[in-house]
Amino acid sequence: MRNISRVVVLSLSIIVLLSSTTHSIYLKPESHIKSATFVSENFEVGPGQIAVKNFWDIEFPKGHVGVKSFDVELIDEDGNSVPLYETYFHHWFAIKYFENITLSRNIEQYHDLRNGIVFQRNSGACQGYMLPHYWGLGGESRGTSSNLPDPFAVELGNPTKIPNGFKEKWLFNIMAIDTRGAYDRKGCSECRCNLFNLPNNFYNVTNGIDGKPLSLNYKGGLLCCQDNLQCKLRKGFDGPRRKLSLRYKIRWVDWDEHQVPLKFYILDATDRVKSNGSTTIHDCKVEYTIPRIHDSDSPNVQKASIPMENGGYLIYATTHMHTGVVNATLYGQKIFLSNSFSSDGRVLCTSTPKYGMGKEAGNEKGYLVGMSVCYPKPGSIKIEDGEILTLESRYENQFRTGAMGHFYIYLAEQLPNKDIKD
């Protein structure tokens, strides 16, 4: 049996807008936004310990819905928010999959997850299962809005899109690093290899994200942050083990003809886009190391140019970054002699950081606690099919491992039709 406690809060909001014209009425559809707060399975960590976990078949709104927001934070056994300097919440990813109904009993009884599951990635173009999630952030979760403006939403649970014999389900993939008593809190949060009790043959037996053997130059990042490893503690530090969980709040509407679907893309600043002549090949490395350049004040810039096979209207944009970020910008394509694109390398969005100033969860001093979100007026920014977007991820000029620069964008392929009735 899964051990899931659950709190459900339902709220309803009804908004009706009437235009002042006499012969045509624009009646905004009633928007019945529902909302629920769930608590995931728990996991246990001691001081300095890493937890990398998958929680399968998490609680999720049922039926054909349009999700408006998805917010997650880490809590302790009493339901209190856990601050980042105690447990650094490296990431949480909400990942969609289809499960073969015939095999569901096996999966539940024997935890045999190898068969009967088909992962469903987002619309982003990273290769394979790199960055597959629909929602996901890290330390900046509490201060980064995931709200989608009306009438836009992420359409899920559409029975015509789920193959016969399968059920749509969700899992969390998470990484949390307990840094209580850490000898080097920042280093542990950045997954610095020399701080962890890695096995002696670590570099001999570990492959990188690209599948090739790890180089001895690999100083830190996801591969050194493995489940149960231990980060170096201050001498004599002792602290209790504790149980943590994810508390997540989802807001949604029941799907109807008034909702406009959005597609979700993740663009990675490390994506080295190539072509083999006929097909664009993506090579997302997910994270990177920032060297410190002496005698320079300029930020480090990691840049990628990524063609968008399908464009759309930009409705929402933000970024997933780590502490040390200066800002990140997404640009449209620069075209000099063409009338096919109206684009001139325009700025589509700059996302800027918020750093904490205090002690309480959500405002931890020195930590990245939020990234700003761009909400262009719907219809005002159009990305063309085939347009090449350029993303620049800027960090302070300081040695840093496991840095990330991920742009999250939602595109609408159509806009709402305002002339509901004449």
Ligand X SMILES: *[C@@H]1O[C@H](CO)[C@@H](O)[C@H](O)[C@H]1NC(C)=O
**Where do contacts with ligand X occur on this chain (CB under 6 A)?**
100, 102-103, 116, 165, 200-201, 204, 276-279, 299, 326-327, 350, 352, 394
* Of 52 and 107, CB closest to ligand X: 107
Judged by beta carbon, residue 188 or residue 325, the one nearer ligand X is: 325
Q: Please, which residue, 240 or 277, has the CB nearer to ligand X?
A: 277
Name which of 46 and 299 has its Cβ closer to ligand X: 299
Cβ neighbours of 260 (radius 10 Å): 21
Query: Do 190 and 220 contact (CB within 8 A), yes or no?
Result: yes
Q: What's the full length of the chain, in residues?
A: 422
The two tokens of residue 257 are: 């003809």
Closer residue to ligand X, CB minimum distance, 103 or 415: 103
Comparing CB distances to ligand X, the nearer of 201 and 414 is 201
Shortest distance in whole angstroms from residue 114 CB to ligand X: 12
Asked, as a colleague might, if the bond just before 240 is cis with ω within 30 of 0, I would say no
Contact 148, 410 (CB under 8 A): yes
Of the pair 68, 282, the CB lying nearest ligand X is at: 282
- State which residue, 107 or 244, has the beta carbon closest to ligand X: 107
Q: Is 367 left (phi over 0), alpha (psi -120 to 50) or beta?
A: beta
Dihedral sign, Cα of residue 69, residue 138, residue 50, residue 301? positive
Question: Comparing C-alpha atoms, which of 179, 284, 153, 293 is closest to residue 231?
Answer: 179
CB of 397 to ligand X, least distance (A): 10
Residues 6+ apart with CB under 8 A from 321: 140, 328, 351, 353, 368, 371, 393, 395, 403, 404, 405, 406
Dmax (CA) of the chain: 78
Cβ neighbours of residue 105 under 8 Å, at least 6 residues apart?
none
**Residue 327 Cβ vs ligand X, minimum distance, rounded to whole Å:** 4
Residue 281 beta carbon to ligand X: minimum distance, rounded to whole angstroms: 7
Q: Quick one: 22 or 160, whose CB is closer to ligand X?
A: 160
Q: State which residue has the least CB distance to ligand X.
A: 165
Q: How far is the CB of 385 from ligand X (least distance, A)?
A: 20
Q: Which is nearer to ligand X, 279 or 417 (CB)?
A: 279
Q: What is the DSSP string of 170-229?
A: EEEEEEEEE-TTBSSHHHHHTTBGGGB---TTHHHH-B-TTSSBPPTT--BSGGG--TT-
In single-letter form, the type of residue at position 415 comes to L
Beta carbon of residue 284, minimum distance to ligand X (angstroms, whole number):
16
CB 172: neighbour CB atoms within 10 A? Answer: 21
Quote the least distance from Cβ 105 to ligand X, whole Å: 11
* Minimum distance of ligand X from residue 203's CB (angstroms): 7
Least distance between ligand X and beta carbon 291 (Å): 18
Element holding 106 (H helix, E strand)? helix 104-110
Question: Minimum Å distance from CB 165 to ligand X?
Answer: 3
151 SS3 class: coil
